[in-house]
Amino acid sequence: MNAAEQRSRAQAADWVVRLSDEEVDDATRAACEAWCAEHPSHARLLAEMRELWGAVTPQTPVAGAVPTTRRRTPHARRALGLLALVPVLLLGAWALPWREWAADQRTGIGELRRLTLADGSRLVMNGDSAVDIDLSGEVRQLRLLRGEVYVEVAKAAAPFEVLDRDGSVRALGTRYAVRRDDEDTLVTVTESRVRISPRAADGEAVELGAGEQLRFDGQGITRPPAASTANALAWQQGRLVFDDAPLPEVLRELARYRPGLLLADDPALQDLRFTGVLPTAQSDAALELLGASLPLRVLRVSPWLVRVSAAGPAR
């Protein structure tokens, strides 16, 4: 598959995701029809993606997705599934997130929650997130223990800030998102400004304006991402949007929306890139759309363990 066909397949997958939205408008439908008219292959690719989308649900693996040379008995499949759970259980026992379980508000994997706080501020929590909320002090505080939140701050005398492991992000009358990653924190501002203060005593505070993003850790600013702020917040509409993103990054993001382990440890994946839109609520369908756009193998060991590798000559 050449680069042009990969781009067309990714665009077809994008259209399928956008058209599946219950609130899709006539302009989007018209734009899709115009794209299909641009080239004879576009309508064919769109039909293929629609058929694939309709065949896949989060609970139903696609037939033929798991290559095998020997038929397994139900007992053997059950044993394999139990073995696949062992690393998950060991990992959970090694580091139980007690504080996150006791958080004021938390969401499960793939769950999206919208809340109105006591002060009138609005909060959107991404999946697998946890926060503690304290609006009673001189500073209204939202402590992000895990995951990602988007806040629309209500006007009040007391300042409002989001705290996490790496520092604080104080609103200057604004709407913004804070995401806690493994190594640092990502801030995305959609309205007004925020002041970011890294936790280190000598960390310099930085102001960030609407339409801007940056990452910071406990020592200071790490690097400004080049992503679109609209794309970064598309999870609120149940979508993940990627523009020429390395495939390992795409898979890491998708893993946040499915239970169990999504393994992508094949070095050859580093050479693959993806442009398109994936659904957050249907991760199996998202994997199939990726596989239709890129040369991939998706091996489902069990519902809780999936391995993705680059397709190529048998080894």
Tell which of 190, 213, 230 closes a domain: 230
Q: Is 244 left (phi over 0), alpha (psi -120 to 50) or beta?
A: left
Residue with tokens 């697998």: 128
pLDDT on residue 171: 94
Give the domain CATH number at 176.
2.60.120.1440
Q: What angle do CA 263, 272, 110 make, to 5 degrees?
A: 45
Which has the higher per-residue pLDDT, 20 or 194?
A: 194
Residue 80 domain-assigned (yes or no): no
Is the domain of 123 the same as that of 37? no
Do both 15 and 47 map to the same domain? yes
- The percentage of residues in the chain with a pLDDT greater than 70, rounded to a whole number, is 78
Among the listed residues 303, 200, 213, the one whose alpha carbon sits nearest the alpha carbon of residue 261 = 303
Which residue in 38, 49, 40 sits closest to 12, CA to CA? 49
> H/E element holding 166?
none
Asked if the structure places residue 315 within a domain, the reply is no
Range of the domain at 150: 100-230
Mean pLDDT score, 262-270: 88
> Using one digit for the tens of pLDDT, what is the confidence trace for 231-256?
889 999 888 988 888 999 999 999 88
How many other β-carbons are positioned within 10 Å of the β-carbon of residue 35? 17
Q: What angle do CA 164, 168, 169 make, to 5 degrees?
A: 115
Domain end among 176, 209, 230: 230
User: Positive or negative, the Cα torsion across 171, 176, 178, 184?
Assistant: negative
For residue 40, give Cα distances in angstroms to 11, 16, 45.
Answer: 14, 17, 9
In a domain, 88, yes or no: no
Q: What are phi and psi of 36, to 5 degrees?
A: -65, -30
What's the mean pLDDT when you consider all of the chain? 80
User: Same domain for 194 and 251?
Assistant: no
Strand, coil or helix: 227: coil
The residues facing 296 across adjacent strands are 310
Asked if residue 38 and residue 139 are part of one domain, the reply reads: no
Whether 208 contacts 214, CB under 8 Å: yes
- My answer on whether 288 and 253 are in the same domain is yes
Give the pLDDT confidence score for residue 256 in this predicted structure.
87
Same domain, 199 and 131: yes
Nearest residue to 220 (alpha-carbon basis) of 238, 244, 199, 239? 199
Contact at 8 Å (CB) between 267 and 229?
Answer: no
DSSP annotation of 57: B
| Whether 104 and 218 share a structural domain | yes
pLDDT level of residue 115 (50, 70, 90 thresholds): very high
The whole-number pLDDT of residue 220 equals: 84
Please give the share of the chain, as a percent, with pLDDT higher than 90.
33
Residues 272-307 have pLDDT tens digits of: 999 888 999 888 889 988 988 889 988 888 878 899
Whether residue 226 sits in one domain with residue 106 = yes
CATH code, 269: 3.55.50.30
- The contacts of residue 79 (CB under 8 Å, 6+ apart) are none
Instruction: State how far the Cα of 279 lies from the Cα of 289, in Å rounded to an integer.
Output: 10
Q: Within this chain, do residues 225 and 109 fall inside the same structural domain, yes or no?
A: yes
Query: pLDDT tens digits for 132-152?
Result: 999 998 999 999 999 999 999
Q: Are residues 116 and 62 in the same domain?
A: no
- Name the least confident of 40-54, 259-273, 277-291: 40-54
193 and 222 Cβ atoms separated by less than 8 Å: no
Over residues 161-178, the pLDDT tens digits come to 999 999 999 999 889 999
Q: Average the pLDDT over each of 20-29, 69-78, 202-211 and give the range with the smallest value.
A: 69-78
The tokens of 56 are what? 């896949």
Place of tokens 């957050």: 280
In a domain, residue 7? The reply is yes
Tokens (6 digits) for 36: 């299909």
Give the chain's count of helices (H) and strands (E). Answer: 8, 18
Q: Which residue has the higher pLDDT, 93 or 180?
A: 180
* DSSP state at residue 269: G
For the stretch 64-83, pLDDT in tens is 333 333 344 444 444 444 44
Statement to judge: residues 109 and 223 lie in one domain? yes
Helix runs in the chain, H state only: 3-19, 26-38, 40-55, 74-94, 98-101, 229-232, 247-255, 283-293
Residue 208 amino acid letter: L
Model's pTM, two decimal places?
A: 0.68
Residue 202 lies in a domain: yes
For the chain, the domain total comes to 2
What does the pLDDT read at residue 10?
A: 73
> Is there a domain that residue 39 lies in?
yes
Q: What is the pLDDT of residue 6?
A: 66
- 52 within domain boundaries: yes
- List the structure tokens of 260: 């169990």
Q: 219: pLDDT confidence band, cut at 50, 70 and 90?
A: confident
Torsions phi, psi for 113 (to 5 deg): -130, 135
Highest mean pLDDT of the ranges 10-19, 56-65, 101-110, 206-215: 206-215
Decide which of 179 and 18 is more confident: 179
Last residue within a domain, chosen from 176, 211, 230: 230
CA dist 164 and 86 (Å) reads 31
Clarify whether residues 16 and 104 are in a common domain. Answer: no
Examine residue 89 and state whether it is found in any structural domain, yes or no.
Answer: no
- Under the banding of pLDDT at 50, 70 and 90, the label for residue 96 is very low
Q: How confident is the model at residue 97 (pLDDT cuts 50, 70, 90)?
A: low
